[in-house]
Structure 1
């Protein structure tokens, strides 16, 4: 049995989505990529695996405890599994899951069913149920459901018990949130959860409207959400609020003669511009470090940006080679540097400040990915 307490309260009931949609989405994001997850097909939610087996899940959202010994919710669920998917012992159902929210303590019979692993365990449970079968109980609405379990064969009773799982959670979206919490900022979690739930509902609703089973491939859905996370992880929520570094820090960095400063010296860039270059470089590094610490910056997320800047630099160099070949190499390098400083390049749709573009060029220069002087590699060596 799994029980989870909420660490976060979503705005509204599960961000405005029903419990079946939440569980559909959670299964889509956690099941094997080859699995297909359905809603309202052969159960509230079901998973069909590549090997032909299935997981059937009933969902219960109850203020009262649906796990007490004489709970109609508990026994109706068991009744439905036996009636609609029997015989359990030879059918394709490999797991029978009851999802309950909020968290409720299971009664003795539910606990015994979860713990049963042998025919002896089942016999003890059946005897205990029969012992409590008073005439008053036989008149209760729950009795027909309990009787269906008692009338089942011992093999089917044991097969049901072995496959039976119980998940209790105070906040159903927590399972989804836990998938992304370690790698994205808290600002993004609600957006990711809302998008995932919306896509799960939209896609299954569309299938059901067309008269088709509401099933989605787990791998395709996981890819969809991953692309969404990558697309929003930088543009809307990263910032460039780092202040210029202290003067003594800039001077110390300049005195250490990093490679990008040596590159500027090769083209006779003055002291003031060198100080600005150090400031831009340090601020850029601080921005990237901050995004990484906050979980905003995903691995590889700046690859396209880097490739764009490197391509622009190469194009400018080729253009100056063709049109300014009469300039000596120092002046040509200075002109290329000045031209690159004019560039305004969007980072995944977001306008960036000049210091970030300049700082990134200085990062490339520091790593010798680019140079301003045509013979920078030979001269630096």
Structure 2
């Protein structure tokens, strides 16, 4: 990338959240997939997200999550602050108002005010008339709107600069969620059941590359072509009929802790053999992810429900065989020690395939704990009696 790309951090970069993802990394990934060949994409550098070709910023994008409020309304602080930031960044030399496309990406869809009208203007006369109309409407308000400081900056800025910025301004507010356009882009090249895993990898890898770049002292800007090579390598390695990809969100630490504290049956089974908190925490995480995967795979027709029953039957047979082996070979151990050994042997044995496809790392352990939750298997030799005694 050209040395002319600025190292300065521009005004207006701020994080947001949408459906568990930070919005900016989602848009970073989108632009890495769709920007011109040879471009570079930045995160919270010249703007929330920016696209660079050579030493030119060809796109500066502000990302606005609008789950509550409307950043596209007439007197929106978000909207007028965004324009004011673009003025500051233009004056600072971070943007070229004559050639940089400046974009406000808002999700989900909203009813537009001045922002929608300004996004459609291209001639000086149209722009000047719209600004005059906005100033007139402001003068008729009973009190100053909250956006007043930013609005005044826009109304009072250099005429030529304002015309350039508005001419190049685009409001993007057509997506119901920010992941949808990524799926649409991947539809032609990536199997549907692989897409969610690909998106998760892509967002995470983009953030990893940004972090590595920043730690090296370089600006948070990465090569789209280098990123695409890594992304395509991931698809080639994983987009195979041999793999089942997890579609379940990883549970948060709070959810895992809550699950353990609620002591469902599979946790009580581990308590019977004095498993430690780390084992119970891993078991809860695996159980929750596996439950989510089973539901999603069935709903989306990725795995036949009967195949999951066959998988569980195979786990039951393996459990019974290992239980017999542990009891015969380790007679000197206490019943609790035998139970911990049985759980370890079952959980760490070679993963079984489902429909001849490799399952995610958590799936076999999660399935074993699901069986324990239904009391179809147990770790302590007398788990049924002990669980019944607990209930009385």
> What secondary structure, in the 3-state scheme, does the structure 2 residue paired with 1:76 have?
helix
Structure 1 gaps of 5+ residues are 1-12, 239-293, 295-349, 354-381
- Counterparts in 2 of 1:1-381, with a 5 A limit? 16-50=20-54, 52-62=56-66, 63-86=68-91, 91=97, 93-107=99-113, 109-134=114-139, 139-168=144-173, 169-237=175-243
Shift in Å, 1:206:
2.5
Aligned equivalent of 1:317: none
Distance 1:47 1:90, change over 3 A: closer
Shift in Å, 1:86:
3.0
Distance 1:180 1:49, change over 3 A: same
> What secondary structure, in the 3-state scheme, does the structure 2 residue paired with 1:132 have?
helix
Shift in Å, 1:31:
0.5
1:69-110 C-alpha deviation (Å, 9 max, x unpaired): 100010000000001223899557520010101111211x22
Q: Give RMSD over aligned pairs.
A: 2.9
| Aligned partners of 1:32 and 1:219 also within 8 Å | no
Distance (whole Å) between structure 2 residues aligned to residue 137 and residue 145 of structure 1: 18
> What secondary structure, in the 3-state scheme, does the structure 1 residue paired with 2:64 have?
strand
| Aligned partners of 1:15 and 1:194 also within 8 Å | no
- Please say which structure displays the higher CA radius of gyration: 1
Distance (whole Å) between structure 2 residues aligned to residue 90 and residue 26 of structure 1: 23
Shift in Å, 1:14:
5.8
| Aligned partners of 1:87 and 1:156 also within 8 Å | no
Distance (whole Å) between structure 2 residues aligned to residue 137 and residue 44 of structure 1: 34
Shift in Å, 1:131:
1.1
> What secondary structure, in the 3-state scheme, does the structure 1 residue paired with 2:69 have?
coil
1:1-40 C-alpha deviation (Å, 9 max, x unpaired): xxxxxxxxxxxx7674310100001000100121110001
| Aligned partners of 2:50 and 2:60 also within 8 Å | yes
1:246-275 C-alpha deviation (Å, 9 max, x unpaired): xxxxxxxxxxxxxxxxxxxxxxxxxxxxxx
1:19-71 C-alpha deviation (Å, 9 max, x unpaired): 01000010001001211100011111111113624311101002211111100
Distance (whole Å) between structure 2 residues aligned to residue 162 and residue 200 of structure 1: 31
1:339-373 C-alpha deviation (Å, 9 max, x unpaired): xxxxxxxxxxx9x99xxxxxxxxxxxxxxxxxxxx
Shift in Å, 1:127:
1.6
Distance 1:199 1:14, change over 3 A: farther
Distance (whole Å) between structure 1 residues aligned to residue 104 and residue 228 of structure 2: 24
Distance (whole Å) between structure 1 residues aligned to residue 115 and residue 97 of structure 2: 22
Q: TM-score, normalising length from structure 2?
A: 0.54
The size of the alignment, in residue pairs, is 231
Distance 1:131 1:91, change over 3 A: closer
Distance 1:137 1:18, change over 3 A: farther
Distance (whole Å) between structure 2 residues aligned to residue 121 and residue 87 of structure 1: 27
| Aligned partners of 1:60 and 1:99 also within 8 Å | yes
Distance (whole Å) between structure 1 residues aligned to residue 159 and residue 153 of structure 2: 12
More relative contact order in 1 or in 2 (CA 8 Å, sep 6+)? 1
Shift in Å, 1:137:
6.3
Distance (whole Å) between structure 1 residues aligned to residue 39 and residue 222 of structure 2: 9
Shift in Å, 1:209:
3.5
Distance (whole Å) between structure 2 residues aligned to residue 137 and residue 41 of structure 1: 38
Distance 1:77 1:209, change over 3 A: same
Distance (whole Å) between structure 2 residues aligned to residue 15 and residue 196 of structure 1: 16
